[in-house]
Each structure stands twice: as structure tokens, then as C-alpha cells.
Structure 1
Amino acid sequence: MRSHVIFGAGLIGSFIGGILTSLHKNTQLVCRPSIKQKLNNGLTLTDYLGNTIQIKELDFLTLENITQNGSEDFCDFLWITVKCTGIDQVSKEIKPLVGPNTIILCCQNGLGSDRVLQQYYPTNTILRVMIPFNVTEIKPGHLHRGSEGTLCIETPKQRLELVTSLVTLLNTSIMPTSQTTEMQALLWAKLQLNLGNSINALADIPVKAMLEQRNYRLIIAVLMKELLQVTKALQIKLPKLTALPAQYIPVVLSLPNSLFNLVGNKMLTIDPTVRTSMWWDLSQGKKTEIDYLNGAILEAALQVNIECPANKKIISLIKQMEQTNSNARVNIGSGTLLKEIQNAV
């Protein structure tokens, strides 16, 4: 019987896998050969606060050596750390690992990926995981948590003791961990913060440099205001994920640079090299998670008859970029992008 399997271990998955391994938990990583090669000599985990963990050796599992029969191949906890776009395929591949008591943890951005897994495994407990921080690769074998935030695991009443035990284990200085019974509201709050992902991908510059330009912040603020209209209509109360309540974040983002640098200085407490996962997807010519982020807002807006033209425009721009050769990409200037959004609205 396996304990923890991290399926689709990239940056986030390898970071979680490294934490579990450092805590002496039986942990195996399923990842691409290129990732395995980078981690063959061990893993160093660091964060922006100066914490460091060294893992001498990781345990890997390949699809080829997952036995089709026998309960010994089932795992207690199966962490799904692929992008939303890969969930359907992964749902089929994980079947040999899923026993009747396997807990499946969904670690995706946006909304909706858990529904796909629930269709494949209707009798298993599926827990959503909210990961607010950013992980970057400093060099092969060195992963760095570059921003603040607490990983949060969904906690249904019937699994309270089990999840509490897991959270207590994982709650370390390098990866703060908590739990919630209100995951849907929390994911909407996280989605609000993720609305900068698409802008970062279009701007083609680091997140900190993007936030230092008011025009980019104004665009993110417009996207957030549309989301807040939708959540209000759905009667979803967003919890605080930052020092500011959800409704005040667009206000602070809209401030002139001089005031933003004072009031919103915590938003700039981020490594200057950090870029969002959507930027990485576009830079590697991959399909993005835009349908699970901005697209989720449009889907919910239809239920309450609300128009979200800014989010609709951003989806269109990202999908255009998905069709563009990553080597031929040029960044969209803040003024140009703001004008496009204003025209759409």
C-alpha cells in the first residue's frame, strides 16, 4: 500500500512531494522524464523568507510500473498536480492507484476540475486544495516558493479527523497549511487573485514589474470588479486571502503609483523573477487554463444574467496567443491592452 503519490509532479507537485519526503512520509512522484532527470540528485526547497530544506533522494513511479492488479498499488493519498487541461486524461491514468479508500486531492487553479474526477470516481473522497503561492525553478533540483500564502485543504465533516491530521503534518514554516469547510468561497477568492495570471501572460514580463505599472493594475481591477458582481449575485461571501478584503483589492490596484507603493506595498513583496503559470504555458506553446479561470466567471455569470465583457475580451486575447508560435510572441504594452479592455467594456 502506497502512502502519498504526487501525480503530475511539476513545480508545485515536486514542492509538495519534497515536503512530504522531508517529513519521512512514504512519497512517490509521477512526472515527466525531463522532471525526473532534474531531480535525480535530490531536491533543494527554499522560500522568500529564507527557509531551506535539503532532500537527498526522491522516489519516482512511472506509468509503466504501476501494476494493474492488486491492492498493494493503491495509495492512501493521491495528489493530482497537473493543470486543469490535463485532468480528463489523468483521470484515466490514475485508475490503478485508486482503491476504495483512496483520498484524491485536486490541486488545480480555477473552478471545475474536481467535477471531472468525481465523474470517474464517484465513491471516493475528493478534496479540493487551494495553493496561493508561486513556485519557481532556480536551477535543476532547486525549487523556490517566491510568494506568500497558506495551502488550504477542503475538510468535509466526515473526514475531519483525517484532514486535520494531514494539515498538522504539513503545516511547516516553508509551506504553511490550513483547512476549511468553505472551499467553494475560498476558491472564488483565489480566482480573484488569479485574474492577474492572464495579464501577466499577455504582458510577458515578471509579475512584480507588471504590478508596478498602473495600466496593467487597472485592467486587473476591471476583471476583479466583474468577478465581484458575479459572486455578489450568487451570494458568495469571499474570505480574506490578503491583508485587504476582496472588495477593496480593485480599489487599491487602481491607485496612482505613488499611493499604490504605500498602500499596496505587500502586493509587491514578491521575487522580481516570478511569472505566472499561464505565462509559462504560453511560453512553452501549451494550452492555458483560461477556461477554468476567466472562463469560470463567464459560466457563472450566465446563471445570474450578468455581462462580463472585460473577462470575455481577455479570454479572446489569450486564445489568440495560444495559436501564436511562442518564439514569435511580443508583449502587449500596458497602454495598448488597457485601451482594448476599455473599448470592450
Structure 2
Amino acid sequence: MTSGSGQRHQPRIGIMGAGAIGLYVGGMLAGHGAPVAFAARGRTLEALSRGLAITRLGGFKIELKPHQYRAGDIGTLAGCDIVLFCTKSGDTGTAATGLSRVVDPGTTIISLQNGIGNVEILEKCLPGCSVVAGTVPFNVVRMSPNAVHCAMEGTVLVGPGKGSQHLVAAASSSPLAVGIREDIDAVLWGKLLLNLNNGLNVLSGVPLRRQFEDPAYREVLALAMEELLAVLEAAGIQPAGATRTSPSLIPKILRLPTWLFRIVARQQLRMDESARSSSWDDLVAGRQPETAFLNGAVCRLAEEHGMRAPVNRMICEQVDLAFAEGQSPQLSGKEMRALAYQATK
């Protein structure tokens, strides 16, 4: 990206959705010199006026001062070259419509959201922009309105494009790893495979690491994943992993004895004891669930191909009940497994 004088300058990066992911990605970039603007409101906006604290697995810590970034209403994103879209999936349409009144034609919009279907909504609401799919295959926990903790290692993955190249360049001087994947659509389906656990984390009410220690929980997740893999095969879609592990092998790994699972999945289990899913964060914060874009996406694709996805439908129904009641049912692994097998009858 060059200025009028031909000199190279850093892209102006906007963050639409100052939640855990938005604050982490934007803060990592801003903390190492990138011009970053956050669209925020309420407690988050007030807290950002005092600074932003970021920690990460392994002891990394950075504390940003307010002068290192800009924060304000959606108008703060005017003039940005790249906007990282980090809102919850259920808010995509409303947020994108508001953003359309602010950004210039040609702005690159990179979706870093969970689930399937957000890119299509963004393209419809922002027809003059270049929309790129992306994903964040690691866990970030919101500790307070202006403090986040990355509980796992991983690389932000984005689709190809000039804006993506500029983002990678902007991140090159920071500890934030950003990579471009030509097969980003396949990666999104592979990421969805992992995100099928989000709802189960709501239903269990326990941290992710503890949940994965229970073979009954792992069995339910394996069943949900196998439904998605079967539907993708019927649809002619080949998912790609965000990691080296083939998506088709993950259900088999989940069914290994716990002692062997710990060894085979040791890299994936490198997470803090505090790590929970983003759906758990939504439940605690009183937001709407994203399940319709996760397990619900499996059910919709199954229906399109004359198939069923009973375990994923059960998860959707149970998560909806949990959000309606405002609390986790704290189902044990055995209780959840019983519900899964009952749903398949």
C-alpha cells in the first residue's frame, strides 16, 4: 500500500466488534505500531479510554495506553483500509448495515467470525467492499471490559487478496501470527467441525480442558462431528484443517482412551485451565447464542441433502433452553451422551 508520494505506509485497521477476539487481534497489532481503531460502546468504550491489557499462554503480556489506538462509535472506522469484522454472528446484518454508511468503497472487510454464512451477509450489506473470509482457530477469554487473555496458541487465517497481504505485512512486526489460505472456504468448514464443541461447553458448564478429560463428552462431540462430515461428503465439500490434523481423523482421536488421547492431542490441549468457548462467554454476558451459525448450519445443510443431523439438533435445542434460562444446565458427560443417543433413535 503506497501513499500519494509513492512511499509505503501501514494500512489503517478498524475493528468492528470489540469483544474478546476484536480486542485481542486489534490490541496485538496496535501494540506494535499498527494504526488501529476500535468501534466500541458502553462499558467497553469507557474502559478503553483507560487502556487495554493483553496476556497470552506462556506468560506474554502487553499493556497498551489509550494513545496507541483510537476508540469511539462506528464513525471511528471511517477511512480505514481494512476492517476486521469480529461481531457475533447474530449481529452481522445490523452491524454491517451500520458500517456501510461509514466505510469507503473498496475497503477490505475480513470476517473473523464463528460459523457459516457471515460472508454472504457481509457481501449483501457491503456491496462496494471487498469481503474476505477468515477464522481465528484459538481461544480468547474476556477477563474484563479492557482485558483479554489468549488461552491457546494459533494463527489467524484469512483468504487471499490485497487487503489480506497488507494485514499480514502489518502483523509481521507483532507477535500475532496471520496466514493466508487459498482454500479458506474449506478451512471454514474445518473450523466449524471444532466449533461444534461450543454449545457442548455451554451445556457442561466446565472449562474446556476439564471437559476434554471426560470420554463421554468427547463421544458426544465425535457424534456431532461425524454428522457434519457425512453431510459435507454428500454436499461434495472437502473440509480442510486449520491444523495439521485431518478433519476426518478428529472423531477417531476423540474416542481414544483418555491416557492415549492426552498424548495424541497434546498440542491441542495446550490451553489454560481458564479456557472456555465463546458460546459460554455469550451465555454469561446475556447475549444471543451463535448456535444457529454452528450446529444449526449442520442441520440446514443436512436438510438440503435429505439427511438428518439429530445430535446437532439436540445440541441446538439444549443450548437454546440454557440461554432462555440464563444458565448452564451443567450436564455431566453421561447425561449428555444419553441425550445424544436418545436423539438418534
* Cα deviation digits, residues 30-68 of structure 1 (max 9, x gap): 1122112333222232211333333222311224xx39x
For structure 2, the 5+ residue unaligned runs are 4-10
What is aligned with 1:17?
26
8 Å CA contact 1:52, 1:174 repeated in 2: no
What is aligned with 1:118?
123
Match of 1:60 among 66, 71, 74: 71
Q: Name the CA distance, whole Å, in 1 between partners of 2:187 and 2:260.
A: 28
What is aligned with 2:56?
47
Shift of 1:146: 0.8
* Cα deviation digits, residues 199-253 of structure 1 (max 9, x gap): 0010001000100111000000000111111122222222232342111111111
Match of 1:99 among 93, 101, 104: 104
Shift of 1:90: 0.6
What is aligned with 1:154?
159
8 Å CA contact 2:19, 2:87 repeated in 1: yes
8 Å CA contact 1:7, 1:29 repeated in 2: yes
What is aligned with 2:324?
323
8 Å CA contact 1:91, 1:120 repeated in 2: yes
Q: Name the CA distance, whole Å, in 1 between partners of 2:228 and 2:241.
A: 15
Match of 2:91 among 86, 94, 104: 86
Report whether the alignment pairs 1:338 with 2:324: no
8 Å CA contact 2:43, 2:145 repeated in 1: no
* Cα deviation digits, residues 65-112 of structure 1 (max 9, x gap): x39xxxx93321122211001111112211232211211111210000
Q: Name the CA distance, whole Å, in 2 between partners of 1:289 and 1:253.
A: 24
How do 1:260-279 residues align onto structure 2 when only pairs under 5 Å count?
A: 260-279=261-280
For the aligned residues, what is the CA RMSD? 2.1
What is aligned with 2:136?
131
Q: Secondary structure at the match of 2:168?
A: helix
Q: Percent identity?
A: 28
Q: Name the CA distance, whole Å, in 2 between partners of 1:7 and 1:285.
A: 20
Q: Name the CA distance, whole Å, in 1 between partners of 2:228 and 2:180.
A: 24
Q: Secondary structure at the match of 1:339?
A: helix
What is aligned with 1:205?
206
* Cα deviation digits, residues 83-142 of structure 1 (max 9, x gap): 001111112211232211211111210000121121122232111111111111345543
Q: Secondary structure at the match of 1:53?
A: strand
Q: Name the CA distance, whole Å, in 2 between partners of 1:253 and 1:173.
A: 34
Distance 1:135 1:277, change over 3 A: same
Q: Secondary structure at the match of 2:84?
A: strand
How do 1:277-292 residues align onto structure 2 when only pairs under 5 Å count?
A: 277-292=278-293
8 Å CA contact 1:11, 1:135 repeated in 2: yes
Q: Secondary structure at the match of 2:331?
A: coil
Distance 1:237 1:81, change over 3 A: same
Q: Name the CA distance, whole Å, in 2 between partners of 1:274 and 1:181.
A: 30
Deviating more after overlay: 40-49 vs 212-221: 40-49
Q: Secondary structure at the match of 1:52?
A: strand
TM value normalised by structure 2: 0.90
Q: Name the CA distance, whole Å, in 2 between partners of 1:46 and 1:259.
A: 31
Shift of 1:255: 1.5
For structure 1, the 5+ residue unaligned runs are none
Q: Secondary structure at the match of 1:175?
A: coil
Q: Name the CA distance, whole Å, in 2 between partners of 1:113 and 1:309.
A: 24
Shift of 1:272: 0.5
8 Å CA contact 2:215, 2:257 repeated in 1: yes
Deviating more after overlay: 214-223 vs 170-179: 170-179
Q: Secondary structure at the match of 1:268?
A: coil
Deviating more after overlay: 204-213 vs 233-242: 233-242
How do 1:204-223 residues align onto structure 2 when only pairs under 5 Å count?
A: 204-223=205-224
